[in-house]
């Protein structure tokens, strides 16, 4: 697999991840936008949703849930700036519910709904 794109995800406090990936799918305008090597430089707003890292078979091998933000895409780099991010497998339904109860906001309510509907995360 040619890992051609440098993916960086930041929250205000720190860098969350910096890795080489094949492709990245971003939540954009009610749909998705796929970042590939050589894409024209772009700065775009991101919606609340899943950032998916794809392999050469276009299968999601990793997912991060973001609260929205912005993506800066340049040649072989995709930098995401967001307020909150969780790696998909770092939470489960109970943790998502606890977050939403302790810090009620639209992102945590959305996370709770995602984990409720995903059978893999039900107790």
**pLDDT per position as a tens digit, 45-97:** 999 999 999 999 999 999 999 999 999 999 899 999 999 999 999 998 999 99
The pTM of the full predicted model, rounded to 2 decimals, is 0.91
Closest CA to 85 of 23, 21, 26: 26
What is the domain partition of the chain in residue ranges?
5-86, 91-121
Domain 5-86 has CATH 2.60.15.10: yes
Q: Read off the pLDDT of each residue in 114-119 and give the average, rounded to a whole number.
A: 84
Q: Sign (positive/negative) of CA torsion 93, 98, 101, 102?
A: negative
Mean pLDDT of the chain: 92
Task: Assign 33 a pLDDT band (cuts: 50, 70, 90).
Answer: very high
Torsion of CA 123, 85, 111, 28, to 10 degrees: -130
């Amino acid at each position: 697999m040619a890992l051609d794109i440098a993916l960086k995800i930041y929250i205000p406090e720190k860098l969350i991840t910096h890795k080489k990936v094949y492709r990245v799918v971003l939540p954009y305008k009610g749909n998705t936008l796929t970042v590939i090597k050589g894409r024209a430089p772009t700065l775009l707003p991101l919606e609340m949703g899943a950032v998916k890292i794809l392999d050469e078979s276009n299968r999601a091998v990793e997912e991060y849930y973001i609260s929205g933000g912005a993506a800066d895409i340049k040649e072989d780099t995709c930098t995401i700036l967001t307020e909150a991010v969780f790696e998909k497998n770092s939470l489960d339904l109970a943790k998502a519910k606890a977050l939403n109860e302790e810090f009620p906001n639209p992102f945590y309510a959305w996370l709770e709904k995602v984990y409720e509907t995903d059978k893999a995360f039900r107790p």
